[in-house]
Amino acid sequence: MERLKSIDIFRGLCMSWMFLGHLIEWWIREEYLWVRTFTFFIFDPIGAPGFLFISGVSITLSYRNRLYRVEEIKDLSSSRIKTSYFLRAVFLLVIAIIYNTAIALTMGWLSWIWTWFVLMTAAFSLLLMWPLFNLSKITRILIGVIIWFISQYLYSLLSPYQNQLNLQGIFYHIFYNDYSQDPLLIFFSFFLFGTVVGDIMNNLNNNKNPELKRKQLKKKIIIPTSLISLGLISFGVLFNFPSFLSRSSLSWLFYAIGIDLLVLMILIILEEYKIFSTKKRYRVFFYFSYYSFTVYLGHNFLYFIFYQKLDLVTIWIAVILTFLVFSLFLRQIYKKWGWKASLKAVLGKTSFKLAYKIEEKKRRD
């Protein structure tokens, strides 16, 4: 099965929401912060949770494809795959730490150097995922759910010690700073669940018959995943109704992964049954997907432009216009520089080339 463009659309949606959500949070006047809260309630599952989820899907498809090249085509070695994988994770972690440090110094809050912004969570998720790739899909699902229950219990134990200079306070800072962001102990499971979906998609790769492939896609992915997503959403809503939208609560976690699965399945259905053209209509989301890390780092420069200055009307005008201008800017970057301006692509190519050089050096030695 060819790589579904739905994956790029989904990642683009996630990055678009993080872009828009941050602008609303930064630019809205303090008395209108309820607008930010309301919009986050609706779209937050496709923000950082969705981004980590679809990253798990994407990295699994890439990893399995490289394993196929090792086993069948024999133009690649397993050691190079492992080395490039870890180099990519380490490079991303270094960038995340630099980003955190820049934010901490700008805001004057040095504790933010260790903060679970999504870049750091993604880097650690890559590192933690490597030994889990060979586990069965059911085992990975169980691990993800168990992590969620443990994280809730651990948070209840450590949260009273927040900002305290004792052992419990240090552990709280390591595991949950800042809890309103994307702590690894909570959000890693989204990445883990994404690898399960990625493996299910990868299992259809060997089928070269388009009609049979579509039937298998419907039978093995679309129908069961859609039913599971609706069940997860219902469970999340009913588990703690009406407070299920409390971010990072157990009910919200089940609700959020259900939303992510459902949105992905809707996009796959729209693509596979050619309800929309993937060649043109999704381009804006492609740019936000292809330049996802670049957008995440770059959009922070917009923080001070209208900081807490806009009302209920001007906020939407400013945010929408900024999004459109930024989209056109990304389009021009893509035409002029292509992958060279994509931090995601640069990390992938650099880590792979460096892994090749390391492997060659080992052979000579």
User: How far, in Å, are 125, 174, 259, 352 from residue 91 at the CA level?
Assistant: 13, 20, 31, 12
Q: Average pLDDT of 338-350?
A: 92
Q: What pLDDT score does 206 carry?
A: 61
Q: CA-to-CA distance for 206 and 163, rounded, in angstroms?
A: 53
Least confident of 18-22, 113-117, 360-364: 360-364
On average, the pLDDT of the chain sits at 90
Q: What pLDDT score does 282 carry?
A: 65
Dihedral pair phi/psi, residue 310, rounded to 5° = -100, 150
- Global pTM reads 0.93
Nearest to 185 by CA among 152, 228, 142: 152
Q: What pLDDT score does 1 carry?
A: 47
The answer for residues whose C-beta is within 8 angstroms of residue 43's C-beta and 6 or more apart is 17, 21
Digit-coded pLDDT (tens) for 278-326: 555 568 888 999 999 999 999 999 998 999 999 999 999 999 999 999 9
Digit-coded pLDDT (tens) for 60-78: 999 988 888 887 777 788 8
Q: CA-to-CA distance for 308 and 36, rounded, in angstroms?
A: 12
Q: Greater confidence, 117 or 364?
A: 117
Q: For residue 340, what is the DSSP state?
A: G
Digit-coded pLDDT (tens) for 221-249: 888 999 999 999 999 999 887 778 888 89
The answer for residues whose C-beta is within 8 angstroms of residue 223's C-beta and 6 or more apart is none
Q: Per-residue DSSP letters for 111-148?
A: GGGS---HHHHHHHHHHHHGGGTTS-HHHHHHHHHHHH
The domain spans of the chain are: 5-364
- Residue 275: pLDDT band (50, 70, 90) is confident
Digit-coded pLDDT (tens) for 148-197: 999 999 999 999 999 898 999 999 999 999 898 999 999 999 999 999 99
The alpha helices in the chain, defined as continuous H runs, are: 5-27, 33-43, 48-68, 78-107, 118-129, 137-158, 167-176, 184-202, 210-217, 223-239, 250-272, 283-290, 292-298, 314-336, 343-364
Mapping DSSP to helix (H, G, I), strand (E, B) and coil, where does residue 310 land?
strand
Digit-coded pLDDT (tens) for 4-62: 788 999 999 999 999 999 999 999 998 988 888 888 888 899 999 999 999 999 999 99
And the tokens for 358?
Answer: 């390391």
Q: What pLDDT score does 262 carry?
A: 95
- Residue 128: pLDDT band (50, 70, 90) is very high
Q: Is the pLDDT of residue 199 over 60?
A: yes
- CB-count burial class (<10 Å; 0-12, 13-18, 19+) for 103: middle
Q: Is the pLDDT of residue 277 over 90?
A: no
